[in-house]
Amino acid sequence: MKGDLFVWLQALMVCLVTLIVVFTFCGRVVGVKGDSMYPTLHDGDMLLLRSVGYTPKQGDIVVLNKKSGVFDEAIVKRIIAVGGQTVSIDYAAGTVTVDGQVLEDDYIAERMTVPPDPYLSIQEVTVPEGSVFVMGDNRNHSSDSRDQRLGTVDERYILGQAVMVFFPFQDIRLLG
């Protein structure tokens, strides 16, 4: 009886240490706050991030940790462009182009409209090497790289790529 308990405790400790090592060095868990990524992600969703060996790519959903006066906690956004690419935003047409190609953004909630906020005035930008341009899928309700207070984001601020929604359980799915 005592031997069985010891085996169970030992197995539990191995699992616990393994989980700690995996989540410390290979991935993270982050909660979604707000609706800027709707309909792809919802407020309260829990995400599993891949952080080790990650290279940012256009279209990836990432979690950023760029703290500023407006963004004082981690934010979830989609990479629209990476270093060296040029992003053009046509608010009248509701389109985003990257290097002259209109972005296929069938994942967005609604057509993008002209933002009322004067901070959202970026219409064309060439992304510096080592940086990314990010936007929320809910374009009309997202503070992102169009906002001069955030702008392009240095890749070092990326905590990782969101690879899975694992909570709530009815919404479990892989991303990307």
* Residues marked as catalytic: 36, 77
CB 79 within 8 A of CB 133: yes
Distances (CA, A) of 11 to 6, 19, 26, 143: 9, 12, 21, 45
106: left (phi over 0), alpha (psi -120 to 50) or beta: alpha
Q: What ranges make up the beta strands (E) of 66-155?
A: 75-82, 86-90, 95-98, 101-102, 124-126, 131-135, 153-154
